[in-house]
Amino acid sequence: MINLILFGPPGSGKGTQAVTLAEKYGLIHISTGDLFRYEMSNDTPLGLQAKSYMQKGELVPDEVTIGMLRNKVEAHPKSNGFIFDGFPRTVAQAKALDAMLTDKTQEVSALIALEVDDDEIVARILNRGKTSSRADDNDESIIRNRINVYNRETTPVFDYYAQTGKTKRINGIGSIEDIFDRLRQEIDQLS
């Protein structure tokens, strides 16, 4: 069983890498951002709830996000493990995830952080915005707000898992293949 948290600021490449890693290791990829966008595009009550936060680059409230994540995890009782992408983004979410995994007699195997500096992130997201049609990717002030929210609310999640020695950092700059290799080297060391 591998339960991996792919960690890093918005635009650091988590989604891109998570898709290939999930395939290689036979894991279920859960992206909370993708789940919210799916709900929004279907105008579900959950989507409508998330929309106002996402458009401003704020976090969707923990209870909403945790409930959605729990449903997704419970939908895959027989999986070999999960890659969490975009979750946990707050320490409360991390504690909820730990409790959920403990109930299944499992735990977080590792948190791997993709390190990318702010200017590179803004450039990447603005570039993605040209084709993604994501409203939160097209406005530099919203992108800067997402980075501020990340620094304020999400970086404590790294410190939380660092206490138990589960954190690893890799350089998130380079080709997609190079970064995949760096991730693979870390994951292959997990038992």
CA angle 119, 122, 128 (to 5 degrees): 140
Residue 177 Cα to chain centre, angstroms: 19
Active site residue 152: no
Closer residue to ligand ADP in complex, CB, 38/185: 38
Active site residue 124: no
Query: CB-based burial of residue 145 (10 Å sphere; 0-12 exposed, 13-18 middle, 19+ buried)?
Result: middle
Q: Identify the active-site residue in 56, 72, 134, 166.
A: 134
Active site residue 134: yes
Q: Identify the active-site residue in 37, 89, 124, 168.
A: 89
Question: Least Å distance between CB 60 and ligand ADP?
Answer: 4
Question: How many residues are given for the chain?
Answer: 191
Active site residue 78: no
Q: Identify the active-site residue in 51, 95, 128, 169.
A: 128
Backbone angles phi and psi of 5, in degrees to 5: -100, 120
Tokens of 181: 């290799």
Question: Least Å distance between CB 140 and ligand ADP?
Answer: 14
CA angle 148, 149, 153 (to 5 degrees): 125
Q: Identify the active-site residue in 37, 124, 146, 168.
A: 146
Active site residue 89: yes
| Contact set with ligand ADP (CB under 6 A) | 10-11, 32-33, 36, 53-54, 57-60, 65, 86-87, 89, 93, 136, 146
Question: Least Å distance between CB 84 and ligand ADP?
Answer: 9
Question: Least Å distance between CB 32 and ligand ADP?
Answer: 3
Write the CA distances from 113 to 79, 90, 130, integer angstroms.
23, 15, 26
Instruction: Quote the DSSP letter at residue 136.
Output: G
Which of the residues are catalytic? 14, 89, 128, 134, 146
